[in-house]
Structure 1
């Protein structure tokens, strides 16, 4: 099958490209900055602008399926840019899918599209996708879901993949850029002895390879609808503390949020407080439908996903793509000098 992947150079995209290639599918990648990777046909398109729409139609022509995995996380202070690429980019992909007559669209949605939990009971795919109002990431994921609602009903089968937090070792450098100030080295994690977090944290996670497995199954069976993806158990504060060899010191969520918001507004670090709101609001996920319809089971347990994430952070692990490129203090400071801090970086 010929499968086109937007965001093919990112966290989920690289795992999906590996899986599709191993299964002998023809893979076409869409990226703003195509990497030099063998075995993939690349098209350059900027999803934040209508100027990239014609290239999308050309790339989608003759495709058996399109996987829309492109998403922007930074600059967190430039919400107009994030909305242009996350929501506007989704609209452009849908329009190109329709114009090219692609029979199957797989959209990488997120646990972040869901409304806040009301209990610790896992929710199914019928849970409202209204998002968390204080998280721009969540608002944009919910807005993309509304675009899919309007698009459905035609000749294209639409599949929505809603994973928990997606991790793999090679995303370590990317996670560091999203979350830490430029001058903080990865090895600083080794110095953490006290973890100041509210004990109520419980976040579903899933390995990137398991997400790729579910997407591939959906492509090969051409099954539509929404699918939750998560390892059997969520990640908790105690698990994070153990992985860091640290001791948890309970700090109420409201205090944490105030500190995070103040440091973000003053540009001391790039992580907006909406991410904390999301972490403490997302529901646990019921994965019965994907297990029943696609025969999917997560191969990587939650504590192993967490271990890969932490080890990837410690080692600033990377891959051969611009999105997952190596991160160091020197490279971060150099980029900040040339283009501004990542949270408000100028786009070229």
Structure 2
């Protein structure tokens, strides 16, 4: 089988590439990314391709040339680099997915495995206590990442209706943790105290990175289709996270946080604006029943175990 992997130089992309290389040496893996892949990927069954996912012509040419049976579409921008504007973000996240879909349909690709996000559900007070895959996708007007994931999911839904021959496996991960993860969420855990929001539990669901990789491989092996939340069992509130870290938990008033962020961001003293309040206050807490019962995968770690494994990998002590 020929499998095209977009975003192959990314955090999950490199792990998927390495995993498939080991488990399926008879597959041809087309590793595509705008970033260069190192010499460690010079292997007999890996072809490296420079691809700007925001350029539809490049996407079309790539798929026309390699004719993959399956595409694993991981290319996305989680944390935009300084200076990257909204137009470029949208061109990568939404335009890139549209280009992949169009080219896949034009050239008879059989399966599309795509990572969406739990962020597609949005950050709202009326979110269900445990969000199921049938719950509405509302994104968030002030979060480009969540807004774009909702747009991507709309494109995918339209394609499922019009082109059911393309098997779609849509994965919606919660917060991904692993040995080498470093992002705005893990940064919260490295501060002297854990900041919370009064009146909000701010519950997190975690999924270990190798579980995500295993799910992608299983989906390819089985030619699976469907939509699945990716999360370990259970959830951790910020108060529980603080207890595990052995750090003070300091819940602040929403008005205070909003005002502080509104004043500090224009001064360059923080990269976050007032929208960060909803991001922490109304976390989408993902139910994983369908992943276990319908897809047939039991995550290796619960949310708590994934967090403890992350701390161990980071050399951070757990206290509870």
RMSD, matched Cα = 2.7
Instruction: Name 1:124's counterpart in structure 2.
Output: 132
Q: Distance in 2 between matches of 1:229 and 1:67?
A: 16
Higher relative contact order (CA 8 A, sep 6+): 1
**Which stretch of structure 1 is more off in the superposition, 61-70 or 14-23?**
14-23
How far 1:22 sits from its partner (Å)?
2.6
Q: Distance in 1 between matches of 2:81 and 2:313?
A: 22
Q: Residues 254 and 310 (structure 1 numbering): CA distance in 2 closer, same or farther, change over 3 Å? A: farther
Q: Residues 23 and 195 (structure 1 numbering): CA distance in 2 closer, same or farther, change over 3 Å? A: same
| Conserved 8 A contact 1:117-1:283 | no
Q: Structure 2: give runs of 5+ residues left out of the alignment.
A: none
- SS of the counterpart of 1:112? helix
Q: Residues 256 and 310 (structure 1 numbering): CA distance in 2 closer, same or farther, change over 3 Å? A: farther
TM (norm. structure 2) is 0.84
Q: Distance in 2 between matches of 1:314 and 1:83?
A: 37
- SS of the counterpart of 1:300? coil
**Which stretch of structure 1 is more off in the superposition, 82-91 or 259-268?**
259-268
Q: Distance in 2 between matches of 1:5 and 1:284?
A: 28
Instruction: Name 2:72's counterpart in structure 1.
Output: 67
Alignment of 1:27-176 (within 5 A): 27-36=29-38, 37-38=40-41, 39=43, 40-58=46-64, 61-72=66-77, 73-75=79-81, 78-115=85-122, 116=124, 118=126, 121-152=129-160, 153-154=162-163, 155-172=165-182, 175=183
TM (norm. structure 1) is 0.78
Q: Note if 1:277 corresponds to 2:283.
A: no
Q: Distance in 2 between matches of 1:86 and 1:260?
A: 27
Q: Residues 261 and 168 (structure 1 numbering): CA distance in 2 closer, same or farther, change over 3 Å? A: farther
How far 1:222 sits from its partner (Å)?
1.6
Q: Structure 1: give runs of 5+ residues left out of the alignment.
A: 181-185, 316-348
Query: How many corresponding residue pairs?
Result: 303
How far 1:84 sits from its partner (Å)?
1.2
How far 1:272 sits from its partner (Å)?
4.9
- SS of the counterpart of 1:169? coil
**Which stretch of structure 1 is more off in the superposition, 136-145 or 278-287?**
278-287
| Conserved 8 A contact 1:5-1:68 | yes
| Conserved 8 A contact 1:197-1:256 | no
How far 1:9 sits from its partner (Å)?
1.7
How far 1:309 sits from its partner (Å)?
4.4
How far 1:314 sits from its partner (Å)?
7.3
Instruction: Name 1:194's counterpart in structure 2.
Output: 193
Q: Distance in 2 between matches of 1:52 and 1:125?
A: 33
Instruction: Name 2:13's counterpart in structure 1.
Output: 13
| Conserved 8 A contact 2:34-2:52 | yes
Instruction: Name 1:333's counterpart in structure 2.
Output: none
